[in-house]
Amino acid sequence: MTVFEPPRLEKLDSQPEVQRLLKNLLDHPGVQTFLWVGPEGSGKKTYALALVRSLFCREGPDCPGCATCKQVLNRTHPDFFWLQRQEGKGEITVEATREVDRKLSNAPFSAPVKVAVVSEADRMNPDAQNAFLKTLEEPPAKSLVLLLAEKAGNFLPTVLSRCRLVRFPALPDAVIEKALRESHGWDKAEAQKAAQEAGGNLALALKFGDENWMAFREKVGRDWDRALQGSDEDWMLLVNEYDQWEPEFLGDAELTATQRKAEVLKAAFQVYLGLWSRRLWGGAEVPPKLASLRAEAVLKCLQKHQDMIPLYLNAKMILDHLFLELREGFWRGELIDRSFMELSAQI
């Protein structure tokens, strides 16, 4: 699968509200600090790269990719800084944000403004956020700062109050289908199916073109359904397997052991949530033995446990907890929303 290179901002159309807001920025590229918040796959990175291309490139909206655009896409342009978590680190540290401060403080080299993008900015630890406050409050002349995050909840109130908030809603199915067909060359039937199952997440929809991902998807649905209907021993085996599992779709991505576990768990939740969403609207069958579970309650329970992944990074603990809650619901005929502490005591 080729990596998607976003066009200039003028050519994007998946987030019309965001587009309107940013067009103004192209005409008046003054000092600004933004916080872009939206779910994974809603287009934040795409829009960030497209915006920087439009700000820096002098060739006009139809530029097929000049030297400047290539530097932006490769993130090697001297006036563009892309900050993300370092290899093996769970958070963005104060040293990393100081580096951005330093880079922003010099005058732009060739572009009209310097741009810093902080990807997964909600992973900045409180020290890093505090160190970044001065830059957010009084950004250096000719600079633009974009913080990208899935949720606004992890930021210090002082950071939130200094940024202009832009929301990226999950993408409608029709927008995902169009992007798959027009930017990635998928045929209509493939694009439609992937869009329906992706729940507004373009990054997830794109995985439907990867046979390793499809094999993973099939196995997770089968395993989790079976474990829910089986004995205690069955689910203990499954939890142990998933704690050690290195599925093919991970490829040779340079991740630490802990990050790999988190990736596998995150992906497995994505798959099982997708399956139960389809069950909710009748797009997939519920095995007769699981018919006593209400799909809405299962989805809520899965969502709650998925949200624990970045906090606990412990596959065994999260899965143990999930299965206890789901299986208890399965036997009783209803799900009870237990606190993490309450159930942890039983594990």
Binding site for Zn ion (CB under 5 A): 57, 59, 63, 66, 69
Q: Which residues touch 13 (CB under 8 Å, ≥6 apart)?
A: 19
Q: In sequence order, what are the beta bridge partners of 92?
A: 124
Q: Which residues, 6+ apart, have CB-to-CB distance to 12 below 8 Å?
A: 6, 19, 43, 46, 47, 50
- Name the residue nearer to Zn ion (CB basis): 51 or 319: 51
Beta strand 143-149 pairing with 32-37? parallel
Beta strands per DSSP E along the chain: 32-37, 80-83, 114-118, 143-149, 164-167
Taking the complex as a whole, the smallest distance from the CB of residue 177 to Zn ion amounts, in Å, to 28
Strand partners of residue 166:
36
Residue 77 beta carbon to Zn ion: minimum distance, rounded to whole angstroms: 11
Identity of the residue, 11 or 219, whose beta carbon is nearer to Zn ion in the bound complex: 11
CB of 69 to Zn ion, least distance (A): 3
| Minimum separation from the CB atom of position 143 to Zn ion (A) | 21
Q: State the minimum distance, in angstroms, from the CB of residue 15 to Zn ion.
A: 21
Smallest distance from Zn ion to CB 54, Å: 9
What is the closest distance, in whole angstroms, from the C-beta atom of residue 259 to Zn ion in the complex?
Answer: 34
Q: Which residue is nearest to Zn ion (CB)?
A: 57
Look at the block and give the residue holding tokens 């909600």: 122
Find the Cα–Cα–Cα–Cα dihedral 313, 315, 316, 320, rounded to 10°: 100
User: Quick one: 22 or 57, whose CB is closer to Zn ion?
Assistant: 57
CA distance 284 to 247: 24
- The residues that bridge with 80 in the sheet, in sequence order, are 115
Token pair in block for residue 58:
């002098």
Q: Return the exposure string of 300-329: e unless at least 16 CB atoms fall within 10 Å of the residue's CB, then b.
A: ebbeebbebbbeeebbbbbbbbbbbbbbeb
Nearer to Zn ion, 50 or 315 (CB): 50
Looking at beta carbons only, is 60 or 126 nearer to Zn ion?
Answer: 60
- Judged by beta carbon, residue 37 or residue 69, the one nearer Zn ion is 69
Judged by CB, which is closer to Zn ion: 108, or 310?
108
